[in-house]
Structure 1
Amino acid sequence: MVGFLVIILLVPLSFINSLINERAFRQQDVVNEINEKWGNDVLVYGPVLKLPYKTYTETKTFNEKTKTYFKETQTHINYAYVFPEELHAHVDVNSKTLKRGNFESAVFTTQMDFSGHYVPVHLTSKGIKTEDIIWNKASIIIKTSNLKGIKSEIQIKLSDTTYSFETNFNQNNNSSLDVLESSFINGETLFTDTPTNFTFSMTFNGSRQIELIPIGKTTTMQMASNWADPSFMGNYLPNDETKQITNDGFKADWKVLHINRAFSQQHLKSIPNLNQFAFGTKFMVMVDEYQKSERSAKYGFLVIGLTFLIFFLIQTLSKIHIHPFQYLMIGLALTMFYTLLVSISEHSNFLKAYLIAGISVIVLITFYSKSILKTIKFPLFIGASLSALYAFIYVIIQLENYALLVGSIGLFLILAIVMFVSRKIDWNNG
């Protein structure tokens, strides 16, 4: 009968899990709405030198009257895209939380300062003659995933001259990134004889992650933030020697060489989609309140089973009769812990919610068991056992890397204690 009641109580536990998932989905909807208004992921792809050049095609036309062919040459304008020799990024990120009702989202404001240089441009290896390049129509391209989140005007300084950027809605784009393009520059004076230095800055409101595509022949990025739980992502990880992660934030440095990636420095006709080569940082919330509640609810079967087992052993050892209805009431009280936990955690932090829900349920079951068992020592033992069990589950929930190990050892010890206590029970005459 006790085993059957445990199975019956799995029904309200499943409804509680559904409630937690529903609230978690609601939280994600609110987070997405906040991020959409504040700013989404940040990905920067640039600067790229855009050079128009001429190509020619010849067509032969037969003249019926003269019975001869004549040639006609047509001129076409295509574009070459040249990546910088060096690209250096210094990224400072200030993270904070935005709240809406009971929900909150982690967002950030980032200042990204870029510098580097181009080497003199020669496209003869691509079959393009220098005289066919339209140098006075050159421009600089920057792509980004978060056009809406840009919070300052963007200007690039090439040598001693500054150029502004505008959105290029007519750009044929083979990726999901938006395009910013500078005004026309005189490329012949800037990119033909000596290396050309550049600097520019971008300020973003964003959320979730910051990424950079390493288009420099040598690309470096230094990132610093007050976020304590970074997750480094992409094809390239930061240098272990300089990486620092503390409770006050993190610092990380990357260096990517052209030999580390599978694309060249010059491209004709279109800019390739290189999103797969991006690297950077995801600003993670390691375990949010609903994840903790969901993980706690997964141990509901264990809590109910062990509590029923304690009552069953007390009943067997003391010969005190406990009615199945009383078992059911105790089980329902245990399931109420999770609804209390979810509802209170929406208005407070998880630790306070866990303490309030745990103490409420433990006190309720302790007093209820006193009326059943007609003594004080068994209810106190039950209260202490439940306290230890909830404390053990809380520790497991907080752990990330060692949760499975600690949980397995804890369950093994619980099983050993139960076997030790029940070793002398005569089950044939019980």
Structure 2
Amino acid sequence: MNINENPGKGKFGYWIKTSITARMFMVGFLTLVLLIPLMYVQDLIKERKNRQSEVIHEIGTKWGEEVVLYGPMLKLPYKTYTEKKVKDEKTNKIYTETIEDIAYVYLFPKSLDVKAEIDPEEKYYGIYKTAVYDSKMKVSGSFSRPQLLEEAEIRDEDILWNKAKIIIKTSNLKGVSSTVKLHLGQSDYEFSSKYNGETDYQPEFVSLHTLESKAIREGDLPMKKNVNFSLQMNVKGSKQISFIPIGKETTTEIRSDWKTANFFGEFLPYNDDKITETGFDARWKVLDINRPFSQYHFNAPPNLRQFAYGVNFMIPVDEYQKSERSSKYGFLVIGLTFLIFFLIQSISKIHIHPFQYLMIGLALVMFYTLLISISEHSNFFKAYLIAGASIIVLISVYSKSILKSNKFAGLIAVSLISLYTFIYVIIQLESYALLVGSLGLFLILATVMFVSRKIDWGNQ
């Protein structure tokens, strides 16, 4: 017997075909089911993004990590005395014993001037790329006899000037491509790497290593007058370069032909003409009153990396971020597309099988795999255009075969074009994303309400 001739027999397929409520539940269930492959796509995007980070880190490890310069500093030892009461076991008398020890004070320079010439280039590893650079740094300044020696009641005879040394803390020793030599006073001093067993590591910062000179000659020390110094360093690095303003007055100038400079840190360049047609020429000036630390520190140099400033040379690759943001709208795209087919089915009485809904949903999910794979070899706009056009053509042709109407197929195509354009605009916007998204959803809701008024909801 034909099911259409005897609806009273009632089968599940007939109920799905004729009941609006059943179709609503079916469409909602399929939408939820398609969230499973959509989550797998989001995991794929995260995996590819992590792979990119691993490759960039690998390139940086081989070429040289980011460069941070902290110094030079004068490491000055001095004698300290503590009194300890000791009991003589034979006489049971208690007497005071003076214990002599060595402590250190780290003196920052009176003036510090840094000039850096950066020559960046792009390095490729498969489909991934990152920025690396050669840097030539000229550091100059002066040390002065600090007032702290009197303020801290350190006597002149307790200061071990003959054991004073210059230290520099810096990252990326692997990238140093020339001998590090400091001209202080009338002499030159070479530096050697010093390992003291300390990791000096924090997850949010690169590790800093210590370079130390030999003992400074008496005539080159700021015992009575200011002593000038100069230093040159050639370092290969990646990602970024930064400096810590430890001078009482610190000036910095960084030049490069890199056209996508991103300045960061606690202090920003003061010159308005820092960006030029051929690159950038950025300048900083930081006074001791501008930062919350003093010109001297006892026992050990403090961790001042949070006050570093400089330039980031990372290539702005946001394809993965945009793909990830796009996939977060996947539920909206699938739901609204199914809603359009549901309204067409309800108004025109054309039957659409659940399997056909499923095929349409899988095509919508396939959009994101196309997007991420194409964007790895092109920019995001081209990838979005190609992936979107492919899926729109596929679904439009498929809908023509199941709806048997050019008009409905055209409506589907226009709706998908509008929807994907709407999503793309939201992704590009930052400050106005919420406003545009809210207005767009309002218009979509108004359209659905307008169209659905023609449906005979009495057929439940």
Q: What's the TM-score bracket when you normalise by the shorter of the two chains?
A: 0.7 to 0.9
CA contact (8 A) 2:185 2:219 kept: no
Is 1:125 matched up with 2:143?
no
CA contact (8 A) 1:228 1:245 kept: no
Aligned counterpart, 1:192: 223
CA contact (8 A) 2:137 2:232 kept: yes
CA contact (8 A) 1:230 1:250 kept: no
When residues 351 and 427 of structure 1 are mapped into structure 2, their CA distance, relative to the original with a 3 A threshold, is: same
SS of aligned partner of 1:314: helix
Report the CA distance between 1:406 and its aligned residue.
Answer: 2.9
Normalised to the residue count of structure 2, the TM-score between the two structures is 0.82
Code of the residue aligned with 2:297 in structure 1: it is: H
Aligned counterpart, 1:140: 166
When residues 428 and 80 of structure 1 are mapped into structure 2, their CA distance, relative to the original with a 3 A threshold, is: same
Report matched runs for 1:22-421 at 5 Å: 22-56=47-81, 76-121=101-146, 123-170=149-196, 176-225=207-256, 226-228=258-260, 230=262, 232-233=264-265, 235-239=266-270, 242=272, 244=274, 249-284=279-314, 286=316, 288-421=318-451
Rg comparison, structure with higher value? 2
Report the CA distance between 1:342 and its aligned residue.
Answer: 1.9
CA contact (8 A) 2:261 2:311 kept: no
- Give ranges in structure 1 of 5+ residues lacking alignment: none
Q: Distance in 2 between matches of 1:5 and 1:247?
A: 54
Residues 283-319 of structure 1 show CA distances to partners (whole Å, capped at 9, x for unaligned) of 4555522222211111111111121122222223333
Report the CA distance between 1:189 and its aligned residue.
Answer: 4.4
SS of aligned partner of 1:343: helix
- Give ranges in structure 2 of 5+ residues lacking alignment: 1-25, 202-206
Residues 342-389 of structure 1 show CA distances to partners (whole Å, capped at 9, x for unaligned) of 222233333332222222211111111111122222212222221232
SS of aligned partner of 1:366: helix
CA contact (8 A) 1:41 1:207 kept: yes
Residues 69-103 of structure 1 show CA distances to partners (whole Å, capped at 9, x for unaligned) of 99987654433321111112233434433222233
Q: Distance in 1 between matches of 2:85 and 2:346?
A: 104
Aligned counterpart, 2:34: 9
Normalised to the residue count of structure 1, the TM-score between the two structures is 0.87
Report the CA distance between 1:338 and its aligned residue.
Answer: 1.1
The size of the alignment, in residue pairs, is 428
Q: Distance in 2 between matches of 1:365 and 1:68?
A: 100
CA contact (8 A) 1:98 1:107 kept: yes
CA contact (8 A) 1:9 1:331 kept: yes
Code of the residue aligned with 1:131 in structure 2: it is: E
Q: Distance in 1 between matches of 2:280 and 2:243?
A: 18
SS of aligned partner of 1:204: strand
When residues 395 and 187 of structure 1 are mapped into structure 2, their CA distance, relative to the original with a 3 A threshold, is: farther
CA contact (8 A) 1:367 1:379 kept: yes
Note the aligned Cα RMSD (angstroms): 3.1
Report the CA distance between 1:65 and its aligned residue.
Answer: 9.3
Q: Distance in 1 between matches of 2:235 and 2:428?
A: 33
Q: Distance in 2 between matches of 1:134 and 1:114?
A: 26
Q: Distance in 2 between matches of 1:67 and 1:393?
A: 88
When residues 415 and 252 of structure 1 are mapped into structure 2, their CA distance, relative to the original with a 3 A threshold, is: farther
Q: Distance in 2 between matches of 1:413 and 1:208?
A: 44
Q: Distance in 2 between matches of 1:64 and 1:7?
A: 85
Q: Distance in 1 between matches of 2:400 and 2:304?
A: 68
Code of the residue aligned with 1:405 in structure 2: it is: L
CA contact (8 A) 2:371 2:383 kept: yes
SS of aligned partner of 1:48: strand
Q: Distance in 1 between matches of 2:393 and 2:117?
A: 50
Report the CA distance between 1:144 and its aligned residue.
Answer: 0.9
Report the CA distance between 1:178 and its aligned residue.
Answer: 0.6
When residues 58 and 309 of structure 1 are mapped into structure 2, their CA distance, relative to the original with a 3 A threshold, is: closer
